[in-house]
Chain A
Amino acid sequence: METTKSINGIKMAFSHLDKIFWPDEGYTKGDVIDYYNKVYPHIIKYMKERPESLLRMPNGLADKGFFQKDAGLNAPEWVKHVPLHSESAEKDINYIICNDKPTLLYLANLGCIEMNPWNSRLDTLDKPDYFVMDIDPSEQNTFEQVIETANVIKELLDKAGAASFPKTSGATGIHIYVPLGAKYTYEQAKNFANTIAIMTQEQLPDFTSLERTLSKRGKKHIYIDYLQNRKGQTLACAYSLRPKAGATVSTPLDWKEVKKGLHPSDFTMNNIIKRIEKKGDLFSGVLLKGIDMMKCIKQLESK
């Protein structure tokens, strides 16, 4: 059950291409590899030089899969990997770095539906390129509320003079990225995100919360998660597939699109390439000039 293909001069073996990953839609593992093969030129910008957390789902959506640590040790020799000290594991962990197409397709062949790169690159591992506001709704929130929350965050960031780039999470939420240009520590990034989160929650006390524990948060509040801005913490990156119904993709948005009528389920692996061809890469600003955090805080204070 192996298919061998030559990618960039590397002979790669792909296995179980017919395996159904999305039972409802009938999409297969082959479709996942196919998608990443097509989206490679766009997604790779957001993966290059970043340690990758591996969420492997070799059975597709049938089970929750597992996080693989030390993936680098089992990888073929042409896959770049680096040992990084993990505080939680109290030892070095071998991370895969995805810098090219063969590696991306290797990850897909391992059953990685999602791509979860770090917020910082190897050269500046302690300084993230951006911070993320993760708007994560609970069961009883509407997507309209997610949109409203995103717009309040946008308004605050506008007042601070900070550029911001929204994308669908690919599930039910929205991620907002703010470029930092690898100038600030994870701690500073987290604190700034926390400030924005507190101010947002003050604007929308009825249906947002900063309470991390699900049981305390309840089912009626959107979690404004600023804690994704810690070293080693990862989110599905732009153009990553998600193991969700419809094979949705975490899709960069134009702020103009973040209004009623937006449905995250509209963006799937079947139409995203067309969208990129039409709209271009709406997320490229995330990796460009970072904000001046001191200036932003002073602006926020003055208002």
Chain B
Amino acid sequence: MHAIWSGAIGFGLVNIPVKLYSATQESSLDLDMLDKNGHANIHYARINAKTGKEVPWANIVKGYKYNDGYVVLTDADFEKVSPQKSKMIDINDFVKAEEINTTFYDTPYYLSPTKGGERAYVLLREALKQSGKIAIGQFVLRNKESLCILKPQDDVILLQKIRFAEEIRSYEDLGIPKNITVKPAELKMAHSLINQLTPKKFSISKYKDTYDEDLMKIIKAKAKGKKITAPKFKIIHNKSKDLMEQLKASLDTGTRKKAS
């Protein structure tokens, strides 16, 4: 695994040096984009809008349009924005997990301690477990202010990005009915249904993405069947066969004449 960020958790007077790893991976089939004719791979190019020529990554900078020109920003500039936050996950609050609605949950990451941070890391993890609380912190990831929670999960401290309040929409406009009363009998029936479908121990791994499996079946069948790219030249029409014989005969006499 590649660390995507490194810094420290700032927790009171203690700094816990950590690295951040992505906790998720793509699980869909890897399909390539191809040219319909000849099946060459498609690749993207970054094109200079003026010259139409390709620009290498090394020559690409970021800029902000300001007045009539662009102000170009470098890595150093981004680091200057909030030098503290770009290297530090600042813990501000501790809350109960259920106080944060799942709507706010965004991408999860794993935190691992780096050299010298192991003890403090375990201390924070155990303290969180025992208190039944999660930490709320702020840091800068990829030039973006990020809000997150830190949550113990078995051996690891999970860092889950959460959304800022202004990113969540209201559902007011949806016209969800408010003053409908439900009958106790119906409610009872619903309860018993829920109970029936509640397993003793739930395991999410029983849910599988079968779409990819099904697609793979189609791909295999297609690969076995007729080849789409390379046409077969085996079946030669009698007409071209005759013609080839005729041609060979004429070429033969040609060489014989030359030889004599």
Contacts and interface: CB of A to CB of B under 8 A. Distances in A.
Q: Are A and B interaction partners?
A: yes
Interface of A: 144, 147-148, 151-152, 155-156, 159, 184-185, 187-188, 191-192, 194-195, 198-199, 202-203, 259-260, 293-294, 297, 300-301, 303
B29 interface: no
B248 A199 contact: no
Given A188-B251, A203-B231, A303-B233, 6 more contacts: A188-B247, A188-B250, A202-B237, A260-B37, A297-B244, A300-B233
Contacts of B243: 191, 194-195, 198
The contact size tier of chain B is 20 to 34
B247 A191 contact: yes
For the residues of A in contact with B, the DSSP-based class is helix
Contact of B239 (A147, A152, A198, A259): A198
B37 A147 contact: yes
A149 B235 CA distance: 18
Given A191-B250, A294-B251, A259 B35 contact: yes
8 contacts: A195-B240, A195-B243, A195-B247, A202-B240, A259-B37, A293-B251, A294-B255, A297-B247
B247 A192 contact: yes
B36 A260 contact: yes
B11 to A, nearest CB: 57
A211 B247 CA distance: 21
Contact of B244 (A148, A202, A301): A301
Given A260-B37, A294-B251, A300 B244 contact: yes
Interface of B: 35-38, 40, 230-231, 233-237, 239-240, 243-244, 246-248, 250-252, 254-255
Contacts of B251: 184, 188, 293-294, 297
Contact of B234 (A156, A294, A303): A303
Contacts of A198: 237, 239-240, 243
Given A152-B231, A199-B240, A303-B234, A293 B37 contact: no
A303 B231 CA distance: 11
A297 B231 contact: no
Given A195-B240, A195-B244, A259-B38, A187 B250 contact: yes
Nearest to A303: B233
Contacts of A147: 37
B249 to A, nearest CB: 11
Given A191-B250, A199-B240, A259 B40 contact: yes
Contacts of B244: 195, 297, 300-301
A89 B240 CA distance: 32
